[in-house]
Chains A and B, each alone.
Chain A
Amino acid sequence: MTSIRQLFEYQFMVNAFEAGTIVAVVAGAMGWFMVLRRQTFAGHTLSIVGFPGAAGAILLGLSANLGYFAFCVGAALIIGAARESVTTASYEDESALIGTVQAMALAFGFLFVSLYQGNLTGLTGLLFGSFLGITNAQVIVLLLVGAFTLLVIGLIGRRLLFASVDPDVAAAAGLPVRALAMAFLVLLGLAVAEASQITGSLLVFALLVLPPATAQALTGRPLLGIGLSMVIGVAVTWISLTIAYYTPYPTGAYLTSLGFAAYVAARLIRVALDRPRARVSVALPVTSS
């Protein structure tokens, strides 16, 4: 009990927990749709684009925050526009394009860091996150952007779900499928920019893919799944921050390991649940007769 109180004696730990909670909730919701829409590769690219954004902003003397948001949302717009302009493009074409964009983005990030001649901690902080330096102002920015993202996804959620599950039927029913896809990518860009500030550009997946994938392995119901995804994300973040406080190793390592453990456990539970159910359905007629 005393050690827990000690954890919150420092303002930077309070900020880290507040920021981590906001980011985990937003990433849990956005990631759920991303996993459903099979856009993990696009999400990964958005997160990587945040790296040159932040590094470039620091090089110009601006805040890393601004760089994350500007580049992630910009990249979302470009991916969305490229998607619309080449409607006939095959999947392999699209993934080759995304792969190239991704490598180029990382190369620019590396260039900016080496031009800045920044220290190594700065580089690893941008790539792998550092929760120690989060200021009160940053928490407020995260909260505002996070609230906006959740509000919009709440408004378009039903239609987006329909358009994600069956785009052809949704389009026939008069839903603006393309506009929804574009809006989703921009919101995803915002969520990625938020998460990058906690996990770093390379570990965004820890919050954006693992909790939603875990939730989708456990339940197929949308609202329950999104809620579960948020809860798992927040739990993993809190535990990781606590362990990281007491050990010399980075938060990112704990975030990904715990998230992955939850995912594996969920897949195992799914397998275990599916088996008895098959047996029960066979046994039922016998007991009823």
Chain B
Amino acid sequence: MSVDPLLGLLGGILSHEFMRSAFLAGTGIAAACGVVGYFLVLRAQVFTGDALSHAAFTGALGALAAGVDLRFGLFGATIAVGIGIGLLGQSARADDVVIGSVFAWMMGLGVLFLSIYISGSSGSNGSNGTSGVSVLFGSILGLSPEAALAAAVIGVGICALVVLAARPLLFASVDEAVAAPAGVPVRALGIAFLAIVGLTAAETTQAVGALLLLGLLTAPAAAAQRLTTRPSRGIALSTGLAVVSVWTGLAVSYAAPSLPPSFSIIAVATAIFVGAAAWTKATGRV
């Protein structure tokens, strides 16, 4: 009896093409976020992820203001900034104040682009403003089937890349001083990793927006790291939790349309993180 409404809800969700697209893209994006986020939290580079989300915003709006495809600016800006932070930072870990200063300026540029873009075509004022907002907060329900498929493929590609490089990356992240003499190219790995974080940030912007992507990158990963200390389990758990967040978030927003899907997804991810923190505290595990 209790399964029936759930099945009905699921059937209802999957009968819409935009919901199928959202689930397809969301799964690929969430998986990428789970895997990349695990290493991001492990390497204490959450702040860098924050900076990349700002780059995503400015890049996408810059492309819109210049009249080119949004994804061009989005992917270009995040990957370039990821590599740039990697190159500038000492042993590929940049200083807080430098990152803060650069992204304060990038946000300012983003605002400039937003106002150029909104005032640019006076005829379609409203629709321009809306796509500006969707850069900030995402529009997973607005993805075309082709865009959704592309997002899913890129997401799976990111997962495969990181999993392939997982062993040396893990070594370099946990103990840089030992990994370097052991022949692990620590610096090159650090820069390549940030480029992949940039790619993931651009992907995730399409789903939950530039301002909320940090939640999907960090919350499932931080929850997984509290629940297990074993890396292989942690990566799998982080990926699983991210996917569950997106699925549950989409279902909740379908059932309660006044809740935007980006909000529901981040709310579920945060709830999972809070639950994991409470559970480890209650059971006395660290």
Contact = CB atoms under 8 A, between A and B. Distances in A.
B212 A249 contact: no
B46 A202 contact: no
A205 B105 CA distance: 9
Contacts of B211: 103, 106, 110, 202
B260 A111 contact: yes
Nearest to B42: A92
A93 B44 CA distance: 8
Contact of B259 (A41, A91, A111): A111
A72 to B, nearest CB: 18
Contacts of A91: 44
A100 B260 contact: no
A40 interface: yes
A145 interface: no
Interface in B221-260: 221-222, 225, 258-260
A58 interface: no
Interface string A105-141: 0111011001100001001100110000000000000
A40 B100 contact: yes
A106 B44 contact: no
Contacts of A98: 46
Q: Looking at chain B's contact residues, is the secondary structure mostly helix, strand, loop, or mixed?
A: helix
Given A35-B97, A100-B270, A107-B267, A95 B47 contact: yes
Of the candidates B97, B132, B212, B219, the one having the most CB atoms from chain A within 10 angstroms of its own CB is B97
Chain A interface residue count: which class? 35 or more
A100 B215 contact: yes
A209 interface: yes
A115 B43 CA distance: 37
Contacts of B214: 99-100, 102-103
B205 interface: no
A178 interface: no
Contact of B111 (A41, A92, A250): A250
Nearest to A51: B211
B46 A249 contact: no
B100 A209 contact: yes
Contact of A103 (B96, B215, B225, B258): B215
Interface stretch (A11-19, A169-177, A221-229, A254-262): A254-262
Given A38-B97, A91-B44, A209-B100, 10 more contacts: A41-B50, A102-B214, A103-B212, A104-B270, A124-B111, A202-B107, A253-B108, A254-B108, A260-B108, A263-B101
Interface of B: 41-44, 46-47, 49-50, 96-97, 100-105, 107-109, 111-112, 114-116, 118-119, 126, 129-130, 132-133, 136-137, 211-219, 221-222, 225, 258-260, 262-263, 266-267, 269-270, 273, 286
